[in-house]
Structure 1
Amino acid sequence: MFKIFGILALLLSNVAYATNLGEPDLTNTWVGIISLFIFVVGYYVIANEEKYEIDKSVPALFVGIFTFLLIAIYFVTNNLDIKLVHEEAENVILEIAEIFFFLFVAMTYIESLLHMGVFDRLKYNLVSKGYSYRKLFWLTGLLSFFISPFADNLTTALILSTVLFTIEREKKEFLVPGAINIVVAANAGGAWSPFGDITTLMVWTSGKGNFLDFLYLFPSSILGYLATAFLLSLAVPKTKPIFDNEVEVPQMKEGAKTIIFLGAVTIIMAVISHQVLDFPAMWGMMFGLVLLKAYSFKLQKKFGKSHFDVFQSMAKIENNTLMFFFGILSAVGALYFLGWLTLASVVYEPSYLGPIYSNIAVGFLSAIVDNVPVMSAILKANPNMDLSNWLLVTLTAGIGGSLISFGSAAGVGVMGKLKGIYTFSSHMKYAWMILVGYFISVGIWYFQFEMLKIY
């Protein structure tokens, strides 16, 4: 354990040496040092959201926006090429836009399904069968693991956390482990699919492995997840949710099934948009929003405006979650531009850490910062690794985000859905269980790839 954290510290101490040719290294300047300090303070405030009673989006936005302003001031006062900052800001905006609109459409569909009574009916079907909290825990977790490879980890986590919250709204001993279970399952499920997680997609599109190569990560992903899920399940009560046999069976509104179908079509369009047409995935999602709007117009003509209004669904979206993503992606973009996030390819050399220990440490780094810029930095550094180690870093970057509540998009999304229940502090109480699963996944990878050479 101490060796891994020592490796992580060494990684962080060497990031300044990895800037590509033509990119400024500002880590030793006043703007580099102040920006890192602001990020650390902002991270602390985000992590202690409950203590300071301030929404996590506020410090995230401040750090992201203010650090870029500091960088611009530094370039102007030192007569440097301000176009470099302009181009970097545009790249960050493009990255934010792709995630922002993807989230926007996903959340709109979820709110629409809530309005149409889909989740109330699902809750009734689950609870009326007499399932205990522990069985419901396993059911939602397994669904999360097997849906995320085909949708994506964020959308999957948002949908199933909504189901979780409709089953039970107060019992934290069920909700907190259940939320963690969904996040861990979504991240683990997305790690073995080329389009199940954005970092996996980045490695695949960079040509580091073929489509089928990533499927070899399935044993590591599922066994690590099952280990964590088993430990979490021990904290879930065996009792059953209260069910009133005399309660009226909730009925879905007219058109609900069509909206479910349109949601599935939207996910398929997002995959086709990126994989076939080489468009951002959000382009397919936005097309799905167009379909939803058109269908909303049809329902209003037939049943009246109160039946379903897509704009009311948009108004109910957790905007603080979207703003958090805007701020945190801006912040990590600024740190990357300054040179703090660029991992030196030298640490992957056998004379230093070597690829295996470096890639294990990447999982911890992706939890602390964000797996997207970390993976981007690794791909730009392009260390000399074989297929097995590129798959290892894909695995660790994906599942490492589960170690901290906001270390992954799935975690942040669930924090927004279960605000005040699933928090940083509540997550950290069970973090050791996630850590056990993390090392089991790495151990399975080592046994399969390094000892048996099965890949």
Structure 2
Amino acid sequence: MIKLLMALLVSSVSLFASSASTGTIPDITMTWVGFACLFIFVIGYYFVAAEEKYEIDKAKPALFIGTFMFMLVAIYYSLNHMDMGLVHTQAQHLILEIAEIFFFLFVAMTYIESLIHMSVFDALKYKLISKGMTYRKLFWVTGFLAFFISPIADNLTTALILSTVLITIEKKRLDFLVPGAINIVVSANAGGAWSPFGDITTLMAWTAGKGAFTDFLFLFPASILGYLATAIILSRFVPNEVPEFDVTTEVKPVMAEGAKVVMFLGVFTIFCAVMSHQVLHLPAMWGMMFGLSLLKIYSYGLKRKYGVDHFNIFHSMAKIENNTLMFFFGILAAVGALYFIGWLALAAVVYDPSVLGPTWSNIGVGFLSAIVDNVPVMSAVLKASPEMGLDQWMLVTLTAGVGGSMISFGSAAGVGVMGKLHGIYTFGAHMKYAWTIVIGYFVSIAVWYLQYQVLGIGH
């Protein structure tokens, strides 16, 4: 199934593909605007990372740099009497794809808020805690759920759902919430890396013909062992205590009438999104919006049957984390500007054997994915299409997919959880445990090396 950031693939490709019809996009990296935008991007990312220190919402610097960088590029084109049609075309492509992401995320978040309103997650929390599980066992349960749901659903939706479960289980204990949130992000990203539908990077490599469907399934050992390496270490920081819970006094939550139908509609909506892209060749958000229309129709039926206060879909929409949506807009716009300028295209140079070569370059892709975003990095690699065998294409698929976990805002899952656990799962909180993720990252690479280079399995 397609990752929720799938629409950015089209955006990334379009930034290059449109040049075929409008002329070659000039490389302006070594100009004042090229260096200025790179500087602005770095400074903006610093303030995103230092959200906790400066008490500034990450959406503010992201939105500023995303809009300002493109305006600077337009000013440069105008001052130098360059083709302004290129600027207009690239901006149009970018805003179209960002809008697709907006609507995709909007629908996913509406469903999650609807399920919260109908006490679905409260019921799940009660079922988990009433079994007498310790915080550590709950850590493992949510982690494994994320790992095996992500290949079927997308990593962002998976992370949003399970982080909601996490915060309903416990609202105060940071020694459970922070490692638990990191665990969900890492497992969701790792789980999506071995399925052609589970992660945008695997989808991109698969559709580009870099491997057959079954080739990606061979990444399962590297994905799960890398995740387990991180999770085992992280679990040591989670208290081995049973949450305070008295079954005799705690009121058992009852899901609202119609909750199971809403759950079914949520799954069906994701199915529609996949079919829209894979079969009907429509944007994935088209299927999501169709699913939203079904939810709205069903909510009308619930209102007629149980009254206006039973379920109001607009109340769910009002609770959506808008700062997360604004953050995505800003970051994707900033990344689009870097593409347009030509900075990210320079990444392909390192694949030359005289520089780093494919193996070290692909390992570096994971670290770059954590800083920028795995989608534009992978898109740049695919566009350059360096001469590599199947084993190396699987390596870059793996590293780009799981590398974003190393920084809290390096993946869609991380950004989503930051929004859901606002003030709890922050950049600073994440970086305290980032070393455990780096260990898991290199375990994944070691498993890949043993499997592909030593044993020759997967070729």
TM-score of the aligned structures, taking structure 1 as reference length: 0.94
User: Of 42, 45, 48, which residue of structure 1 is paired with 2:47?
Assistant: 45
Q: Secondary structure at the match of 1:247?
A: coil
- Residues 27, 33 of structure 1: 8 Å contact kept: yes
After superposition, what is the alpha-carbon deviation per residue over 1:61-114, rounded to whole angstroms, capped at 9, x for unaligned? 000000100111111111000111111112211321222211111100000000
The Cα shift of 1:280 comes to 2.1
Is 2:396 the counterpart of 1:400? Answer: no
Q: How does 1:281-296 map to 2 (within 5 A)?
A: 281-296=284-299
Structure 2 residue 251 is the aligned partner of structure 1 residue 271: no
Separation of aligned partners in 1, 2:101 and 2:304 = 33
How far did residue 307 of structure 1 move? 0.4
Q: How does 1:205-354 map to 2 (within 5 A)?
A: 205-245=207-247, 246-354=249-357
Q: After the TM superposition, which residues 8-27 of structure 1 pair with which residues of structure 2 at under 5 Å, given as runs?
A: 22-27=24-29
The residue number in structure 1 matching 2:389 is 386
Further displaced range: 277-286 or 58-67? 277-286
Q: Distance in 1 between matches of 2:276 and 2:300?
A: 25
Partners of 1:451 and 1:349 in 2: how far apart?
23
Cα RMSD after superposing both structures:
1.3
The 3-state SS of whatever aligns with 1:342 is helix
Q: Do the aligned partners of 1:123 and 1:167 also contact (CA within 8 Å) in 2? A: yes
AA partner of residue 315 (structure 1): A
Instruction: Report the alpha carbon displacement of residue 391 of structure 1 after superposing the two structures with TM.
Output: 1.0
CA distance in 2, matches of 1:98, 1:213: 30
Give me the whole-angstrom Cα distance separating, in 2, the residues matched to 1:145 and 1:158: 13
Runs of 4+ that moved beyond 6 A: none
Given that residues 151 and 194 in structure 2 are in contact (C-alpha distance below 8 angstroms), is that contact kept between their aligned partners in structure 1?
yes
What's the secondary structure of 2:345's corresponding residue? coil
Q: Which whole-Å CA distance do the structure 1 matches of 2:60 and 2:352 have between them? A: 40
The CA distance in 1 between the partners of 2:96 and 2:190, in whole Å, is 27
Which deviations, in whole Å up to 9, do the C-alpha atoms of 1:25-72 show, x marking residues without a partner? 111111111111111111111111111111000000000000100111
2:181 to 175, 179, 182: 179
Are the counterparts in 2 of residues 343 and 381 from structure 1 also a CA contact under 8 Å? no
Superposition map of 1:442-453 within 5 A: 442-453=445-456
Query: Does residue 120 of structure 2 align to residue 113 of structure 1?
Result: no
Distance 1:344 1:371 in 2: 13
Match 2:164 to one of 156, 162, 165: 162
- Contact residue 348 and residue 380 of structure 2 kept, 8 A: no
Quick one: which amino acid aligns to residue 238 of structure 2?
V
Residues 191 and 217, structure 1, Cα contact 8 Å, conserved in 2: yes
Match of 2:66 among 64, 68, 74: 64
Report the equivalent of 1:135. 137
**1:399-446 deviation digits (Å, cap 9, x = unpaired):** 000000000000000000000000000000000000000000001001
Counterpart residue number, 2:426: 423
Give the letter aligned to residue 118 of structure 1. V
Normalised by the length of structure 2, the TM-score is 0.93
Residue 213 of structure 1: CA displacement?
1.1
Amino acid at match of 1:72: A
Structure 1 counterpart of 2:415: 412
Q: Which residue identity does 1:316 align to in structure 2?
A: K
Percentage of pairs with the same residue: 71
How far apart are the structure 2 equivalents of 1:420 and 1:346? Answer: 40
Indicate the residue corresponding to 1:355 in structure 2. Answer: 358
Deviations 1:185-217 (A, max 9, x none): 000001111111112211111111111111010
Shift of 1:23: 2.3
1:305/1:174 Cα in 2 relative to 1: closer, same or farther (>3 Å)? same
Deviations 1:271-296, CA, capped at 9 Å, x for gaps: 22222222222121111111111100
C-alpha displacement at 1:344, in angstroms? 4.4
> Could you say which residue in structure 2 is the equivalent of 1:191?
193
Does the 8 A contact of 1:343 with 1:378 survive in 2?
no
C-alpha separation in 2, matches of 1:173 and 1:430:
12
Find the counterpart in structure 1 of residue 205 from structure 2. Answer: 203
Unaligned segments of structure 1, at least 5 residues = 1-18
What is the CA–CA distance in structure 2 between the aligned matches of 1:274 and 1:343, rounded to whole Å? 30
**Superposition pairs of residues 78-117 of structure 1, within 5 angstroms:** 78-117=80-119
Distance (Å, rounded) in 2 between the aligned partners of 1:432 and 1:311: 42
Q: Match of 1:372?
A: 375
Q: Hey, what's the Cα distance between the residues in 1 that align with 2:319 and 2:138?
A: 27
Amino acid at match of 2:170: E
